[in-house]
Amino acid sequence: MSDISTLYPEVGHRYLRMPHVEKGMQVGLFGGSFNPPHAGHALVAEIALRRLALDQLWWMVTPGNPLKSTRELAPLAERIQLSEKVMHDPRVKVTAFELRHHIRYTADTLALVKARNPGVDFVWIMGADNLRDFHRWQRWRQIAMTFPIAVIDRPGSTLSFLSSVVAKTFDYARVDEGDAPRLARMKAPAWTFIHGPRSSLSSTALRKTMNPAG
Ligand SMILES: Nc1ncnc2c1ncn2[C@@H]1O[C@H](COP(=O)(O)OP(=O)(O)OP(=O)(O)O)[C@@H](O)[C@H]1O
Ligand SMILES: O=C(O)c1ccc[n+]([C@@H]2O[C@H](COP(=O)([O-])O)[C@@H](O)[C@H]2O)c1
């Protein structure tokens, strides 16, 4: 591995390190393009921290979603900087360590996170819209068989998520949302759907406002 201080100077080396965690912690992994980040993302993080009884939440700004075009993708440094502005909870750690490890796929991120942090309980967090295409993610079954997953409600996906391939495949592993505080410690496959306050904000809508012609 090259010297971290000389890598990607525009990003800042503290974002290239995996955040520090202690054994016994419950940690949420919230990956996203955050292009740009918005209050809907902050609401997901707040809900996840509270309902999943998390000690930490890693706000992982992806170098690039492998299923999305990079045409409209703002620079990583900008997405990190804006992420720091929308979320102010000290338990939330904005990070882009995937860049340093040249990771593209979440399955690889999760394998690295698990290998580096024995004794820590992780849970993958995503909005309900992401369930629809989850079966197109690389090694999605392996992800679901290895990590508990918390799905946070999102307008437009409250009911449609039930017809997703992943919800059908892992129907037997669905956990009542009342048990969400224990989800991180459960053996995968285990997933829950968390209802609560919702936000209809989206990055697509915000990009359109910023660049109506685009
Ligand atoms: N308003 C929202 N409510 C619930 N979950 C959300 C919301 N906005 C984003 N998320 C979730 O946050 C994560 C990161 O989302 P992303 O950065 O792609 O934002 P987005 O608004 O969906 O972007 P885009 O419109 O560009 O697809 C995903 O798991 C997504 O499901
Ligand atoms: O690994 C994959 O195949 C894969 C496919 C699509 C999305 N992801 C990850 O899902 C997270 C949410 O992405 P996005 O663009 O919906 O915010 C982010 O961490 C992406 O890297 C991962």
pLDDT tens sequence across 90-148: 999 999 999 999 999 999 999 999 999 999 999 999 999 999 999 999 999 999 999 99
pTM, 2 dp? 0.97
β-bridge pairing 149-152 and 121-127: parallel
pLDDT value at position 1? Answer: 52
Torsion, Cα of 192, 193, 197, 201 (10° steps): 120
Between 33 and 213, the higher pLDDT residue: 33
Query: What are the sequence ranges of the domains in the chain?
Result: 4-210
Q: Whole-angstrom Cα distance, residue 147 to residue 30?
A: 13
pLDDT value at position 210? Answer: 87
- Class assignment of domain 4-210? alpha beta
Q: Whole-angstrom Cα distance, residue 80 to residue 60?
A: 9
Residue 57 CB-density burial (10 A; 0-12 exposed, 13-18 middle, 19+ buried) = buried
Q: Cα of 193 to ligand 2 centre, how many Å?
A: 18
pLDDT value at position 214? Answer: 55
Which ligand is the nearest neighbour of the Cα of 96?
Answer: 2
- The tokens for 210 are 């910023």
Residue for token digits 């703002």?
A: 74
Q: Cα of 92 to ligand 1 centre, how many Å?
A: 17
Cβ atoms of 53 and 26 within 8 Å: the answer is: yes
Q: What is the mean pLDDT of residues 36-53?
A: 98
Q: Whole-angstrom Cα distance, residue 145 to residue 190?
A: 8
Name which of 30, 213, 197, 24 is nearest 119 in CA terms. 24
> Does the structure's ipTM exceed the value 0.95?
yes
Cβ atoms of 75 and 44 within 8 Å: the answer is: no
Q: Cα of 5 to ligand 1 centre, how many Å?
A: 31
Whose alpha carbon is nearest atom 7 of ligand 2? 65
